[in-house]
Amino acid sequence: MEDGEEFYMAPIPLGYYRYTDLLEGPLSIEHIAEINEAMAYSTENEYRARDAQKSG
């Protein structure tokens, strides 16, 4: 993948939006940024939950 493509392509396999949504234009860069931020929070929360289960 070219540099930066993962920013807007990574949410697709996770079901946040479809590739055609990128092509047809209903998403803005702000939407994509918000989705990426939500993905980062979700990943961090999952990591913390697994870590807490190991520790507890």
- pLDDT for residue 1 is more than 80: no
The proportion of the chain whose per-residue pLDDT surpasses 90, expressed as a percent, equals 80
Where does residue 45 fall: left (phi above 0), alpha (psi -120 to 50 degrees), or beta otherwise?
Answer: alpha
| Cβ-based neighbour number of residue 11 at 10 Å | 21
User: What pTM did the predictor assign?
Assistant: 0.77
Residue range 37-53, pLDDT digits in tens: 999 999 999 999 999 99
